[in-house]
């Protein structure tokens, strides 16, 4: 029977690249995100290309009721999830702490921390019931070091780092693997979202060096998932060659 991967934030960037890669590897997929049109288009494309089964579930990870009702509402066969990729996340703004927006802070904490928790609680219980599973948490270099004006986004990703460690310990008795992947700069919609649609400002983030692409992170995730069952990669920090730290980037 084909394995199942559930991917949050599959409408774009790293999540979408993971959907392609896991479909290529013959996984059936549960694709989630808020933009239904994109999920449906992606599902159709992958189904045609790879002949895999795909369930689409549209919800906002910040909304606890929506998360629980949508996931628990899936038919039983979709709850045998082998791989959960906790990828949905975002940054909003890049401001000093005294100027930050309350709304931006709420959005980042509610999405990156609380959303990840809501999904993880539901799916880890399915994994415990089926005595198998692998949870991939997408952290960030921002969860390993704090950079100027990164404050709350960094705090949310430090929380992901801590939760990854906590999950690893708590799920140990159940044989569930837990891995964090912490990327440096990946060119996706991330910066456009951070700068609220300011494409010019977003483009400048990647000026003068070769950033990672979403497929680089999907391949890294696949490396962790495809290790033999007795191997758990606890965490991986993956950077562009031109980026040594969050702020140390070699630009031409």
Smallest gap from Cβ 142 to ligand 8X3, in A, equals 3
- Pick the binder of ligand NDP from 4, 5, 6, 12 (CB under 6 A): 12
Site for ligand NDP in 67-96 (CB under 6 A): 87-90
From the candidates 118, 153, 158, 206, which is the catalytic residue? Answer: 153
Binding of ligand 8X3 at residue 81 (CB under 6 A)?
Answer: no
Return the number of the residue (100 or 132) whose C-beta is nearest ligand NDP.
Answer: 100
Partner touching 246 among ligand NDP, ligand 8X3, none, CB below 5 to 8 Å by kind: ligand 8X3
Ramachandran angles phi, psi of 74, nearest 5°:
-70, 145
Residue 82 site contact among ligand 8X3, ligand NDP, none (CB < 5 to 8 Å, cut-off depends on kind): none
Which region, left, alpha or beta, applies to residue 64 given φ > 0 means left and ψ of -120 to 50 means alpha? alpha
CB 44 within 8 A of CB 20: no
Any catalytic annotation for residue 206?
A: no
Total residues in contact with ligand 8X3, by rule CB under 6 A: 6
CA-to-CA separations, 172 to 90, 131, 167, in angstroms, rounded: 29, 11, 8
Give, as ranges, the residues between 168 and 207 that touch ligand 8X3 (CB under 6 A). Answer: 185
Half-sphere exposure at residue 34, Cβ-oriented, CA atoms within 13 angstroms: 8
Q: From the CB of 182, what's the least distance to ligand 8X3, in Å?
A: 8
| C-alpha closest to that of 135 among 186, 86, 74 | 86
Binding string to ligand NDP for residues 120 to 149, with x set by CB under 6 A, is what? ------------------x-x---------
Q: How far is CA 32 from CA 2, 29, 107, 132, 227, in A?
A: 19, 10, 18, 21, 25
Q: Cα(85)–Cα(87) distance, rounded to whole angstroms?
A: 6
Binding mask of the shown chain, residues 133 to 162, with x at each position contacting ligand 8X3 by CB under 6 A: -------xxx-------x------------
- DSSP readout, 179-230? EEEEES-B-SSHHHHHTTT-HHHHHHTTTTS--B-HHHHHHHHHHHHTS-TT
CB of 54 to ligand NDP, least distance (A): 15
Binding residues for ligand 8X3 (CB under 6 A): 140-142, 150, 185, 246
State the catalytic residues: 153
């Amino acid at each position: 029977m084909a394995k199942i991967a559930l991917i949050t934030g599959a409408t774009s960037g790293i999540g979408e690249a993971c959907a392609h890669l896991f479909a290529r590897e013959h996984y059936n997929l549960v694709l989630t995100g808020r933009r239904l049109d994109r999920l449906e288009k992606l599902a159709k494309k992958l189904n045609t290309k790879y002949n895999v089964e795909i369930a689409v579930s549209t919800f906002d990870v910040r909304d606890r009721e929506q998360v629980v009702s949508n996931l628990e509402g899936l038919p039983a066969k979709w709850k045998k999830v082998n791989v959960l990729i906790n990828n949905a996340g975002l940054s909003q703004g890049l401001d000093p702490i005294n100027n930050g927006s309350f709304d931006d802070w709420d959005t980042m904490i509610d999405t990156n921390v609380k959303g990840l928790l809501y999904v993880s609680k539901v799916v880890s219980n399915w994994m415990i019931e089926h005595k198998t599973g692998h949870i991939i948490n997408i952290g960030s270099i921002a969860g390993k070091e704090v950079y100027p004006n990164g404050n709350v986004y960094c705090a949310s990703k430090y929380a992901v780092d801590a939760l990854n460690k906590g999950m690893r310990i708590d799920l140990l008795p159940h044989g569930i693997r837990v891995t964090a992947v912490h990327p440096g700069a990946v060119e996706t919609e991330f910066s456009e979202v951070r700068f609220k649609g300011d494409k010019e400002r977003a483009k400048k983030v990647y000026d003068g060096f070769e950033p990672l692409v979403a497929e680089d992170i999907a391949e890294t995730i696949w490396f962790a998932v495809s290790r033999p069952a007795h191997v758990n990669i606890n965490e991986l920090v993956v950077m562009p060659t031109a980026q040594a730290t969050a702020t140390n980037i070699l630009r031409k």
